[in-house]
Every structure is written in C-alpha cells, then in structure tokens.
Structure 1
C-alpha cells in the first residue's frame, strides 16, 4: 500500500468523463435533445422512447499515449523522461462519460415534454509539469528552487433526472427549458486554491514541503492513515438508493431551435447553476503545515533499491500524513454553451457546423466541429466530422444514424483518426444510443401541427 501511494496521483490522472461534438447537430435524433430541450420538436413522431446508451470522451492535453509509453520485452513501459519533455506548465486531463438508461418525449399541439434518467461522470483536472519533472528527474534537478506539485480539479459522478418543457412559438421557432435533479454518487476533488510546495536547499539537498491542500471525497476511501487505507471508489455505481440521499443538487438547461426547412439552427446553455452539496459519507483529508527532512536525491535513491525505497516512502508518509475529518462541501459542475446548425445542400447531402464553449476549471474553452452527412438509403445516414479542441490536435470523426422501422440507432466517434492510430493518441471516445419512435409521424417540416 505504501509503495502504491507514490503512484496515486498518476492513477487519478489516468482514470479521470465532454460530450461528443456530433450529437448536438443531429436534429431528429434522441441524443440531440440532451443538449437542447427545444430539439424535442425535431423528433420525427409524436412520442419517442429513449433507450439505453453510453457516451465517453477522454482528452489528454499536450501528450499522447504513444509518446509516453514504449515497448520493452513485449510490455508497455511508461517513459517518464519523454513525458517530462512534452508537458507544459499546466496539463489538462478531462474524461466525461454517461450511461443513459431510459427516457420518453411527447409532443402535443404546440407543446413538447420530456423525462429521462442517466448516470454522468465528470472528470476535469490538471497537473503541473513540475510534478512530472520531479518523478522523472528527481529533486536534484530543483536545487535552490521551490515548485508547486499540487494537482487541481477532480472527478464527480451523479445520477441525473431531467424534466423538459418546450413550446413552438410559431412554425419555425421553438423554445424550451429543463430542470435537472442531480443525485450525487461519488467524488474525489482537490479543494480550490490548494498548494504543495516542495523546496530543495542548496546545502545537503534539504527538502522542505509546505502543505496547504484539502482533498474532499465521498465513497472513495476507507481511510485510516496514508499507510493504511482502502480505495473503494466506483464512479460507475448505479443504484436506485443513491437517488434519495442528502447528497444532491439541481441544474437548468435552456434552448431554442429554428426550423427553416432545409436550414435548421439551434442554441442552448446547459448545466446552468449546476452543483451537488455533499452532506453524507464524506472523507476530508487536510494536508497542512511545513515538513523538513534531508536526503540526497530522494527520488533517485528510491529507484535504486528496495531498502532506499522503503526508507524514502516512510519519510514521505511521515511528511504527508493528513488530518482526517468529514466536512460538507459543494461540487460545482461546469456549464456549456452550444451554437449549431445544419443545411441540406441536396436531398442526400447535409452540411453542419457547431461551436461549443465549456467552463474548465474557471477558464472558458472553445471547441468547433464541421460535419458532412450523406443519405445512403431512406433508413441510413452516414457522415464525417472534423473536430478541433483547444490544446488538442484536430481530429476526424465518423457517425451514423440508422432508422429501421420504428427504431433509431446512433453511433458516433469524434476520434476516427485516434481509433486508427493504434493507441498513439491524446483523445479517445465513442457514443452509442438508441430510441424507439411511436405515434404519428410529422406531417410537415413546421414545428406546429
């Protein structure tokens, strides 16, 4: 347990879930309604049942898997030196995924209604280059310096129950709103503003560790000490009882959709005011104070032999030992803005564009997608999408919407190039979903019946 403690920050970074850039544009699909409550008016029938689906989107900023892992003896080995050379001052790790369970939508006259349930996991963190340099090069590289090695952000998972109401103002414009009940499942988060500053003296390489960091968690640790704890974290836990605990919150979505026959536009803002107030099953670890201990190159020593490793780990455990408690806290969930549209160039070819703005750790980050879709048959559409996110290479994606009979089957990935590159990627993700269309089909292109 003690030796694995040194790898815990890396494990957290590797397991940290932003949404697919295709679904918000695909008017008429069940998946588009998650991003805009007014998109219910584009659904092809008066009643739609949302069936189970899954979405995942992983992003690593500045590094790619193939750059930091090398093959040796048939195994993948982490190349810390290469990682240190690629990392910037701050490096984002973001992973967003959802498990969609069931939902339903209905249109009656000018009104639209929707109710659904899903599990969401939002991982949004970053780590400093100084931490990777410290692990890769040892503290001898920082003589006479003080570096902050604290991560920011964390992971939060919750069940979401959304109820939407929308209204067709006229034949071309519909507006909608949604209230969402958020039931917290689990959380691991570094409190905002925390620091872990490590200084290496010029004489005898004396190490000084200034600690001012709070780690908040729910259903993540069975903690007794840094030398004795169990990691119980399961972000994908999906149990009905979690809907009715004191750990909960609310969020709101608003949206507008415009139907000009061949041209369809939409704009929305999601997760407004979103947050979860954690009041039960909390473990708070408070790292504070200053610890000073000597040792030559402690990280160099611990890699040489097991005796040095045990001695180094004992020293670090003593220096890092936190105060454990249970303090209530709040997880704020970032809002997103979507602006998009699609245009039918011909009866078979459709082009579209999407701009999203996401609040990431207090910074507004844009993403952009251009799509092209071709109607192969009256029940199958396939398309390509070119995606760009800040700090990540532009990527090519693939999507398909099949409508055999009363079913809708949706599959998309913004990462086609990543999937074809044998794992040498900074992004990975896919979205799969289904729905069943019931009732009368739309009799015209207008929103009003």
Structure 2
C-alpha cells in the first residue's frame, strides 16, 4: 500500500477540468487483446490470439445536452437557447470518432510477444465559438460596439493503419512494449487558420467582418472559387498519403498485488501528398444594408436582391488556392494507471488519461472496481470525471467461452438510458479467438 498512495496522489493532482474521449473502461480489461491499444506492454493470456473485425464509435459534444436545449413544458417542448448558452464554453467541440479493427493476431511466448494487425479510423472535429450561437439567437443589436469571434474550425480525416508490435518481460516485475504503425491517409480537410470577427458600429449599425481562413484538403478539390467541389477517392494500401506512428508502453509490478502502467500512443503523422490543396480567404467585409424596395418584386423575393447581397458580402474578400503538400498529426494519448488486488478476485484502480487534438489537450480521471469470476468472466465499473462536470459511469465485460471471447465496453452507461442528458458516449465490441 505504501507504493500506491503516492501514486494516487500524483494522479489526482494531475486531473484538471477538461474532457477526454477514449475508452477508459477498456484499459481495465487487459485480458482482452483490444486493451493493448491503450498499452502495448500488456500480454495476451494464450499462446495465439486472433482479433476478429470489431467496431468502436465515440461521440462528444462539450457544449450543451439535448435537455439543456429542449425543455419539456407540460405536454409540449420549449426551445431554451439561453439555457444552452449558459452551458457553453468559449469554444465548443463536436467530435465523432470511429474505428474498425479489421484483423489482429498475437503470438505470446514465455518472455516476449509479437502482435500484428490492421484497422481503419475516421476522426471528425467541429469546434465552434459561443459567440456564433449567441449572435444567431440575440442578433447583432445585442452586441453593439463589440467584436464577436465567430470562426468555427476543425478537421475531418480518414486513414488506415497496419501495425507490428512487440512486448518483452525484462524481469518478472517489468514489461515493456512498443508498436510501429504504417499509416495511409484516405481523405482529409483541415483548417489551420480560422479567424472570423464581426463588429457592429453603434452609431450607424454598419457591420464589419474580418476573415482570415486557411483550409488544407487532400482528395477533396473545391475549385478555384470554392464553388465546384470534386471528390476523387482511390483507396490504395500503399497510397501516396503516408505516415508513421508509434505506441510505447510500460508495466511494472513492484509487489504481487500492485500493478503500475504508463503508455503513450498514437505518436505520429500523415503527409498528405495526393491532390492536396491550400485554400485561403482573407479580407474585410463591410455591409451597410440595402434598399428595402429591392426586397420584393411582384410579391416574390427579387433575385437582383440576392445577387446584390452576395456581391456586398464578397466585396473585399480575396480567395486563393494553390497545390500544397502538408502534414497532420494523430491525436496523441497518454495513459497512467495503478491497479491493486486486495484479494484475488477483486481489483480496484485509478487511471489518468490525456488526449491532444485540435490544438489543445483534454484530460480525464477514472476510478475502477472489477471482479474476476474464474477464467470465464471479467467485469467492472468505471467512474470518470471529464470536463470538470458530473462523472460518467462506464462498464466493461469480457466473457470467455472455450476459445471464443467477447468484449463489451463503454465509458457512459447512462448515455444509453438517458441520451438527452449525455454529452459523451462511446461503445466497443470485440470478438477474439484464443488458443
């Protein structure tokens, strides 16, 4: 126990008000081959383990929940924009992440283990400012003589990876592991600048917008004036958009009942070389309004008005595009954990997790309790603190019947019971054959 208390103190001290979006419960199921995604130093149970195709999906909205936005009033519903605004941060994330483990295999001997496999991933992030929602609800009259930041940003990318990993028992108490991953980028769109501001003159109500945007794309061609998109998708196992990544892991067992683990995963990049373009939009837009007589033309909206409005908004805006190869980085992750077995069948633990994406780092702290029912079932509950808000209750179950093993894991059970109150959820299904 003297080894555990300082370690727990360190972990709780590192947990800051933020959020993370990876399978925390999965880390506490090391008997499953899928748990090696969080730490390559974990060993399989059997000589040969085959991971069959299995999906993982994760959804995060850091701003408001459905219940914050839609309030029940009697037998009807009320739109509560002020309530949603009160829950929003200065920048809010909507993130969708999916992964399909196509196939994996692990061979374990006495002192070392070799793993190999392939998977496909998709990662979409949209970050939008609170000011953008406030402007849409309150109008610019509520923000006279204020400069609003309205620029959304984010990325959308898909890639595949082929990995080869190894783990070794350095001593009876120390295991280390590493995994190298060859990456092939399938498609990408990434904003690298997203400055968009709006100012309303308090005297003449003239609007002034300033824009400075840079968008990089690969495979997706938007044309010279951004009005003629063309998507050319030709998936190749060894395509021109290539990259590398590495996972590193450590597992230490200072005493029989205590296990400490640490890992860094997805340390890598993709160079986008195929059909890669850079689009830049800069300038100042001034809009003083239009003649009201132009709004209607024989009881219908005048197309001349639409054209004039578009011309007014585009005046002063400079659009440029050019071929430009670029590099993006994977969402790097860190895991630091401690687990303790007071008795053989019971395990308790704590996990600190951090993930870097979209130019910032999200963090989470989780505590876990689990039981082993012989060699047939390993199950447990995980409570995690994310985003400095109410904790999430996660769960996992690893059921082994003969050579077949089934894994189910999620970090937010209540999201499936009360989805209108959830900001985040994820789910993983795994099926292994163990010999």
**CA offsets, 1:149-188, max 9 Å, x none?**
1123322221111111222112221111121111111222
Contact conserved, 2:218 with 2:273, CA < 8 A, in 1?
A: no
* Partner of residue 446, structure 1: none
**Partners in 1 of 2:302 and 2:49 — Cα distance?**
63
- Give the 3 Å change call, closer, same or farther, for CA 290–217 of structure 1 in structure 2: same
Cα deviation for residue 282 of structure 1 reads: 2.6
- Secondary structure of 2:205 counterpart: coil
- Corresponding position: 1:245 with 2:248: no
Contact conserved, 1:178 with 1:253, CA < 8 A, in 2?
A: yes
**CA offsets, 1:391-432, max 9 Å, x none?**
443111121110111112110111112221142211121111
Question: Residue 23 of structure 2 is aligned with which of 3, 20, 25?
Answer: 20
- Corresponding position: 1:280 with 2:281: no
**Partners in 2 of 1:279 and 1:77 — Cα distance?**
49
Contact conserved, 1:106 with 1:113, CA < 8 A, in 2?
A: yes
- Give the 3 Å change call, closer, same or farther, for CA 339–328 of structure 1 in structure 2: same
* Partner of residue 358, structure 1: 355
Contact conserved, 1:19 with 1:97, CA < 8 A, in 2?
A: no
- Give the 3 Å change call, closer, same or farther, for CA 341–205 of structure 1 in structure 2: same
**Partners in 2 of 1:242 and 1:204 — Cα distance?**
57
**TM-score when scaled to structure 2?**
0.83
**TM-score when scaled to structure 1?**
0.81
- Secondary structure of 2:310 counterpart: helix
**Partners in 2 of 1:231 and 1:276 — Cα distance?**
22
* Partner of residue 144, structure 1: 145
Further displaced range: 367-376 or 176-185: 367-376
- Corresponding position: 1:429 with 2:432: no
* Partner of residue 199, structure 2: 199
**Partners in 2 of 1:101 and 1:219 — Cα distance?**
23
- Secondary structure of 2:21 counterpart: coil
* Partner of residue 390, structure 1: 387
**CA offsets, 1:233-291, max 9 Å, x none?**
9xxx9x8x33322111111111112345443332111122x111111123432111112
**CA offsets, 1:346-403, max 9 Å, x none?**
3332222211122244433321111112334641232211011134431111211101
- Give the 3 Å change call, closer, same or farther, for CA 405–76 of structure 1 in structure 2: farther
Gaps of 5+ in 2: 1-19
Question: How many correspondences in the alignment?
Answer: 406
* Partner of residue 162, structure 1: 163
- Give the 3 Å change call, closer, same or farther, for CA 170–68 of structure 1 in structure 2: same
* Partner of residue 318, structure 1: 314
**Partners in 2 of 1:159 and 1:114 — Cα distance?**
17
Cα deviation for residue 118 of structure 1 reads: 0.8
- The aligned runs of 1:212-251 (5 Å cut-off) are 212-220=212-220, 222-223=222-223, 225=225, 228-230=227-229, 241-251=235-245
- Give the 3 Å change call, closer, same or farther, for CA 377–177 of structure 1 in structure 2: closer
